[in-house]
């Protein structure tokens, strides 16, 4: 899962093979089983510890782990499974469930029941990881989405003592810290909102804003969606703008100290710290419209599932059950945190494990937002060449049209048609 920063365009296959044949307690020989696992973010070193521990529980099972690159991963996964050559166990994004409905096997109740799943995982997972037939088909390996990063030195210099908790507060703070030269060019930007071309997670930000305003991302033709789009682009329009298309990419700008506020998932903190170890930044939950309203956050995370064509589904699910239990998640987190260039592992997906990270200066913001997180397939950096990338393009066109002077409501009429056509190809339900 932890992500994307050094992703290669080539598939990296790192086989980790531990095999054995053992005897059943009664003395009869067991049948040796091989389980192939595809991952994206965990290194061979990290997974070798997990596999080694699993051998103590299941000495007759061989686990082969292959770390893949994210580019073309979704297409390769589907093609390999459909040709009966794919993995038994694999990682997939929470928004891919509709696309993988033919490749994902339902989760057996022996692994986790529906009621236990609802109690153990955050609400968004109960919606995201159910197939069109309402069957649970995956288990989260993390929880992630959006949080608000802010430059503490810029805030302190402006006399701002805490992160904004509402959008009006954020707008005021952004205006206060924006610095322009005599020609009106932005030198220090207040917040990276308003454009599509140079904001790394623009689709997540806009998607969250529409949901917070009670808009419909599936069919954004109502006033609430248009108002959210208008509000979004206004941050980059006119003489009072706090961001514009002349700024570098938002992650680069924030890491360089030229941006006060920035929205991103947790894995960006690692990239930022590696790029600028001396940058004094903090992370807070995303702002809301009003503090007295029901909170809405944004979810974008990775889950684990089993191939519907696996000949060893029972053993594959046994491994998934082991992989997603608390102690294994702790081991994964600790192993990842010890990897050079990493500072933490994946934010724990289980509700009961939230307190372990609640006080973490970076991950605590995501844990606090997790109960209110919702998702829709316009999540950035999934490289799926499918639902997400296509819907992101539809909303990108709406942003650019609105910046160019087209009324937001008019631009979204076209977006709605495009989104409906995209969704119809995958039969995904609307967010709930």
pLDDT, tens only, 102-121? 999 999 999 999 999 999 99
pLDDT at 20 over 70: no
pLDDT at 378 over 60: yes
Residues 191-238 pLDDT 10s: 999 999 999 999 999 999 999 999 999 999 999 999 999 999 999 999
Residues 413-430 pLDDT 10s: 999 999 999 999 886 444
Through-space distance between the first and last CA atoms of the chain, rounded to whole angstroms: 25
Report yes or no: 285 and 368 within 8 Å, Cβ to Cβ. Answer: yes
User: In which residue are the tokens 């529906």 written?
Assistant: 114
Residues 373-388: what's their mean pLDDT?
97
Q: Is 6 exposed, middle or buried (0-12, 13-18, 19+ CB in 10 A)?
A: exposed
Choose between 7 and 85: higher pLDDT. Answer: 85
Q: Is 131 exposed, middle or buried (0-12, 13-18, 19+ CB in 10 A)?
A: middle
Residues 255-290 pLDDT 10s: 999 999 999 999 999 999 999 999 999 999 999 998
At 291, the pLDDT band (50, 70, 90 cuts) reads confident
- Helix spans in 114-239 (H): 114-120, 123-128, 152-157, 167-177, 202-212, 223-234
Domains, in order of start, for the chain: 17-144+300-360 (3.40.190.10), 147-298+376-426 (3.40.190.10)
pLDDT at 150 over 70: yes
Q: What is the pLDDT of residue 30?
A: 56
Report yes or no: 214 and 296 within 8 Å, Cβ to Cβ. Answer: no
pLDDT at 124 over 80: yes
Report yes or no: 105 and 313 within 8 Å, Cβ to Cβ. Answer: yes
Q: How far apart are CA 211 and CA 3, in angstroms?
A: 25
């Amino acid at each position: 899962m932890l992500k994307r920063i050094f992703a290669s365009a080539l598939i990296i296959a790192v086989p980790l093979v531990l095999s054995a044949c053992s005897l059943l307690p009664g003395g009869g020989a067991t049948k040796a089983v091989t389980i192939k696992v595809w991952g994206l973010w965990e290194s061979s070193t990290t997974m070798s510890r997990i596999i080694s521990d699993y051998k103590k529980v299941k000495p007759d099972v061989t686990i082969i782990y292959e770390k893949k690159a994210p580019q073309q991963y979704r297409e390769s996964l589907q093609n390999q499974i459909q040709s009966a050559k794919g993995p038994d166990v694999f990682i997939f994004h929470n928004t891919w469930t509709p696309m993988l409905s033919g490749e994902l096997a339902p989760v057996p109740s022996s692994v986790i029941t529906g009621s236990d799943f609802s109690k153990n995982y955050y609400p968004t997972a109960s919606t995201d990881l159910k197939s069109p037939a309402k069957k649970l088909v995956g288990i989260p390996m993390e929880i992630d989405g959006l949080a608000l990063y802010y430059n503490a030195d810029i805030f302190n210099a402006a006399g701002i003592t805490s992160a904004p908790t509402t959008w009006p507060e954020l707008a005021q703070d952004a205006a206060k810290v924006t610095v322009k030269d005599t020609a009106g060019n932005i030198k220090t930007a207040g917040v990276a909102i308003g454009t599509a071309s140079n904001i790394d997670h623009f689709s997540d930000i806009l998607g969250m804003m529409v949901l917070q305003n009670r808009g419909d991302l599936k069919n954004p033709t109502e006033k609430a969606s248009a108002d959210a789009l208008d509000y979004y682009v206004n941050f980059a329009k006119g003489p009072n703008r706090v961001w514009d298309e002349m700024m570098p990419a938002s992650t680069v700008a924030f890491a360089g100290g030229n941006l006060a506020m920035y929205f991103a998932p947790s894995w960006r903190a690692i990239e930022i710290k590696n790029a600028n170890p001396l940058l004094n930044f903090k992370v807070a939950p995303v702002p809301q419209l009003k503090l007295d309203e029901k909170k809405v956050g944004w979810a974008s995370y990775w889950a684990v599932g089993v191939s519907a064509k696996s000949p060893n589904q029972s053993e594959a699910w046994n491994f998934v059950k082991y992989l997603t239990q608390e102690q294994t998640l702790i081991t994964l987190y600790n192993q990842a945190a010890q990897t050079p260039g990493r500072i933490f592992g994946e934010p724990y997906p289980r509700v009961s494990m939230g307190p372990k990270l609640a006080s973490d200066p970076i991950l605590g913001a995501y844990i606090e937002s997790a109960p209110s997180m919702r998702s829709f397939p316009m999540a950035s950096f999934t490289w799926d060449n499918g639902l997400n990338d296509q819907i992101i393009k539809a909303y990108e066109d709406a942003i650019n049209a609105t910046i160019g002077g087209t009324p937001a409501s008019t631009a979204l009429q076209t977006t709605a048609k495009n989104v409906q056509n995209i969704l119809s190809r995958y039969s995904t339900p609307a967010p709930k």
